Structure 1
Amino acid sequence: MSHGKIRENKTCLNCGHQVEERFCPHCGQENIERRQPFHFLFTHFVEDFTHYDGQFWGTVKNLLFKPGKLTNIYLEGKRQIFVPPVKLYIFVSFITFFVFALFPMVNLNFNDSEGGKKSDKASVFKKMQSPDAQRMLDSIKAKKNLTAEDSLAIKSLTTLSDSAKINDVKEILELNKKIDSNAGYGDYKTKKSYDSALAKNPSVFDFIQTPIAHKFFELKEKGVSKEKIFLSMIEKSYHNLPKALFIYLPLFAFFLWIFHSKKKWWYFDHGIFTLHYFSFLLLTILLIFLLTKLIGLTGFWLINTILYALVIILSLYSIAYFFIAHRKVYHAHGLVSFIIGTLLFTINFLAFMFLVVGLALISFLMIH
C-alpha cells in the first residue's frame, strides 16, 4: 500500500465521487495529495511492482515452488491474491533482460586493450579455464618424474593459456577478413548470376532464399568483415529475443488448446498457464545465469562444485516443472498427462528452435 499523504478533501480528483477511506469506491484511485516528496516517485514504483503487503513475494514463491498453483487460483476467479499473469510476465521479462544487458553472457570484444598492447585478460580460453584445471597443472609440474601422459596433459593445458589470445582466435576464425571475393551463395558468385538462374528455375522457397542471397552479395560488395557480421547478428538477435518470446506465447497456448478438450478449456485458460510457465522459465534462466557468473569468482572448489550442482538441479527442475504444472492444472491421469506433456514439450522445442533460426535469419537481413 502506498504511503502518500491522504487529502483532507474527500472528493476524488479523478471522477469526483465521495471518498470515505483511502481509495475511491467508484474508480479505485488513491485519494492522496497531488504533490509528494521527490522520493515518492521511487517508493511508489517499487511498491507498485512488489506490493509491500506480500503480493509480489508470495507470487514469486508460489511460481517457483508450487507448479500450477498460480494458474489454478487465477482460473478459480481469485484475481487479487497474486500479481496478474500479464503484469508478472512483463516484470520478470524486464528484470531478466535488464540483468543480461548489465552482465553480458559472452565478451565479444575483439579489440586490443588501450595503447595497442595485448592484455592477458583478452584470452577467451584463459577465462574459460577453471581453478581446478590450474591446480591440476601445478600438481603435475610438481612431480619429480613426469610420464608421457603428464607431458601431454601439460602441453594441452598450457597451449591455450599461453597462445590463445583474442587476436589468435580472430585469425583462426578469419573474423578480421572480409568475405572472400571468390565466395558465392551456393554455385553463384554474383547477384546477377543468381537472379538469372532464379528466373529460369524458380522455387517455392525463393521467398526465403532470395532475401538471404541478396544480403550476402550486398555485404560482399561492401567489403564487410566477418567480425562485423558475427557481432551484428549476436547484437540484433539479443535485442529481438524478447519480441520473439512474446510472439511465441500465443503459439505455445495454441498447442495446449489443440491437445485438450475445447469444451472444458478455453484458449484464455491456456493463455494464463502459458504466461505463468514462461514467467517461471525466465526467472529460472535468470537464476542459472547469475549462478554461472558466480562460478570461478572464488578459488574454492567446494563453492564452485555447489554452484555447478545448483545449475544442474535448476536445469532439470525447469524441465520437470512443465510436467508437474500440466498435471496439476489440467487434472489428467498421470500416464496420460505425461504422454501429452511429452508431445507438447517436443513440439514446442522444435517450434522454438525454428523460431530461433528465423530470428538469426532476420538478424542477418538487418545487418547494414
Structure 2
Amino acid sequence: MKPTTRSLTKYRGEECLNCGTPLDVEDKYCHQCGQLNSKKQLALKDFFGEFFSNIFSYDSRIWRTIKHLLFKPGFVSKRFINGKRFSYANPFRFFLSVCIVFFLMIQTIEFIEKYTDHEVAKVLNKNGDQGSNIEVDNGVFSISVKNQKKKEKETPSDKELKEIENEPYIGKYIAEKIREDQLKKIKEDSLKAINPTKDSSVVVTQKYLDSLGYIKRLYKQLEYYESFTAKNEITDPETALAKMDHNNTRWNQAVFEKTLLLKSISDNPSVLVDIILPKLPLFLFLFTPVLTLFLWLLYVRRDFTYMEHLIFAFNVFTFVFLSMIIITVVELISFDYVNLASFFFLFIGPFYLYKAMRNFYNQKRFKTILKFLLVSFIFVIGLIIGISLLLLVGIALY
C-alpha cells in the first residue's frame, strides 16, 4: 500500500508526540505506544487517507480470518497461538461480531417477510373480488369473506389459484404456497380426526383451581385452557377469562398466553426457532468454557493451556455462524428452494470439527476419531440440556 504523506521520513521527529519516548528517524512508529512518528500538521487529505488506510488494513485481516476459518479447519487457531496474532482477528471479539451480524440479518429477514406478506396481499386484492379478500399471515395465505358478519377463512378455488398463478413476477410462487398450506391443513384435519382433542365440555371453575396445589393447579389449568382454545377461537386473555368465569389476574393471563404459545408450537414447530435463536449466542458463549474444560482434560498430556483450547473452541463456533450466514444468503437467493442447513449439521459440521481437531492437536487419525466422538457426545448432551433450558426460559419470557 502506498505510504501516506505524514509517514514520510522528512516529517519524523526524535521523540513520540504522544508518550515522549525517544525515537530515531528510521522509526516509523513509536515502539512504546504505536503512534505514527510524524510532526506534520494534520490536514484534511492526511486525515481521510489514514482513515481509509486503517479500514482496508482491518478488512484484509477480517477477510483473511474468514477465508482460513472456512477452508482451513484449525489453521487460524494454530497460527494465533503460535504468535501470528496481528494477522487475524481476535477470536473472542470476532465470535461476538459474527453472532451480531447473523442475528441482525435474521431479524431483518423476518421484518422484510412480514412487510412483503402485507404488500403481496394488498397487490393481489387491488383488482380482486369485492366479496373476498386474500390475507397473508407469516407466509400463510387464505381468503376471508367480507360479506359475512364474522370473517371466515376459506380455501381458494382452483379457478382463483389459476388467476393468482397468472399474476406477473410472484404469482406462481404464491399459488404454490397456497397449495402447500391447503395440503398442510388437510393433514392436520386428518390427524385431528384420528386423535380428537380432549373433552372441553368439562368446566373447571376458579374455586376448584384455588383448592389445588401449585403443580397440580398449573397442569390442570394448562389442560383446561388448551381444550378451551381448541373449541373457541379467542386469543385475548381478558375475553377468554371472562368467558370461563376465571379471575382476571396476571397469573391466569400468563398461563393462558403460554397455552396459546404451546398451541402455536404444536401447529408450527418452526416457532421454536424464533424462541431459541435470540438466546443461542448466549448459550454458546456460556457453554464454550465447559466444552473447553473437557478438551483440556482430554488433551491433558499435551502442551496446551486452557486459553489455547478456548481459542480453538471459539473459532469452531465462529465457523458455525459464518456458515449459517452463507446458508441463509443462499436460501434468500434461491427463494428457499435450496436448503443446506440439515446437510451442514449432519455432514459438513462434524467433518469440519474432526479436521480442526486433527490439524490443531496434530494427533494420529485413530486417536483423533476417538476424541472427536467423545467431544461430539459431550456437545450433543450439552446442546440438549441447553436447548431444554432455553425453551423453558424462552417460553416463560416469550
Decide: shared fold, TM above 0.5: yes
1:76 corresponds to which of 73, 82, 91? 82
2:20 equivalent in structure 1? 16
Unpaired runs of 5+ residues, structure 2, are 126-131, 143-160, 163-175, 193-199, 218-248, 266-270
What is the CA-CA distance between 1:334 and the residue it aligns to? 1.0
1:277 corresponds to which of 316, 321, 344? 316
Superposed, which structure 2 residues align to 1:280-299 within 5 Å? 280-296=319-335
Which ranges of 4 or more aligned residues in structure 1 deviate by more than 6 Å?
1-5, 32-35, 37-42, 111-117, 180-184, 228-234
- The 1:46–1:350 alpha-carbon spacing in structure 2 relative to 1, beyond 3 Å, is farther
Contact 1:237 1:359 in 2 (8 A): yes
- The 1:190–1:102 alpha-carbon spacing in structure 2 relative to 1, beyond 3 Å, is same
CA distance in 2, matches of 1:327, 1:255: 17
CA distance in 1, matches of 2:312, 2:378: 17
1:193 equivalent in structure 2? 212
CA distance in 1, matches of 2:273, 2:202: 26
- Between 7-16 and 330-339, the greater mean CA deviation after superposition: 7-16
Q: Does 1:365 align with 2:396?
A: yes
What is the CA-CA distance between 1:355 and the residue it aligns to? 0.9
- The 1:290–1:194 alpha-carbon spacing in structure 2 relative to 1, beyond 3 Å, is farther
What is the CA-CA distance between 1:331 and the residue it aligns to? 1.8
1:261 corresponds to which of 279, 300, 303? 300
Contact 1:233 1:363 in 2 (8 A): no
CA distance in 2, matches of 1:273, 1:267: 10
1:317 equivalent in structure 2? 348
Contact 2:16 2:22 in 1 (8 A): yes
CA distance in 2, matches of 1:250, 1:162: 47
1:355 corresponds to which of 351, 370, 386? 386
- Between 321-330 and 233-242, the greater mean CA deviation after superposition: 233-242
- The 1:22–1:189 alpha-carbon spacing in structure 2 relative to 1, beyond 3 Å, is farther
1:220 corresponds to which of 248, 252, 260? 252
Q: Given residue 330 of structure 1, which amino acid in structure 2 is its aligned partner?
A: Y
CA distance in 2, matches of 1:192, 1:35: 80
CA distance in 2, matches of 1:120, 1:197: 40
- The 1:340–1:228 alpha-carbon spacing in structure 2 relative to 1, beyond 3 Å, is closer
- The 1:240–1:194 alpha-carbon spacing in structure 2 relative to 1, beyond 3 Å, is same
1:100 equivalent in structure 2? 106
Q: Does 1:327 align with 2:366?
A: no
Q: Given residue 89 of structure 1, which amino acid in structure 2 is its aligned partner?
A: F
CA distance in 1, matches of 2:275, 2:3: 42
2:369 equivalent in structure 1? 338
Q: Given residue 74 of structure 1, which amino acid in structure 2 is its aligned partner?
A: F
Q: Given residue 314 of structure 2, which amino acid in structure 1 is its aligned partner?
A: L
Unpaired runs of 5+ residues, structure 1, are 128-136, 139-155, 173-179, 199-216, 298-303
Superposed, which structure 2 residues align to 1:113-132 within 5 Å? 118-119=133-134, 121-122=136-137, 124=139
Q: State the SS of the aligned residue for 1:77.
A: coil
1:25 equivalent in structure 2? 31
2:278 equivalent in structure 1? 239
How does the TM-score come out when normalised to structure 2? Answer: 0.58
Q: State the SS of the aligned residue for 2:213.
A: helix
- The 1:315–1:96 alpha-carbon spacing in structure 2 relative to 1, beyond 3 Å, is farther
- The 1:355–1:237 alpha-carbon spacing in structure 2 relative to 1, beyond 3 Å, is same
CA distance in 2, matches of 1:46, 1:183: 67
How does the TM-score come out when normalised to structure 1? Answer: 0.62
Contact 1:284 1:314 in 2 (8 A): no
- The 1:4–1:315 alpha-carbon spacing in structure 2 relative to 1, beyond 3 Å, is farther
Contact 1:123 1:161 in 2 (8 A): no
Q: If you compute each CA radius of gyration, which structure gives the higher value, 1 or 2? A: 2
CA distance in 2, matches of 1:191, 1:327: 60
Q: Once the two structures are aligned, what percentage of the paired residues are identical?
A: 19
**1:157-209 Cα shifts (integer Å, max 9, x gaps):** 975456989xx99xx9xxxxxxx99899xxx97476224979xxxxxxxxxxx
Q: CA RMSD in A?
A: 4.8
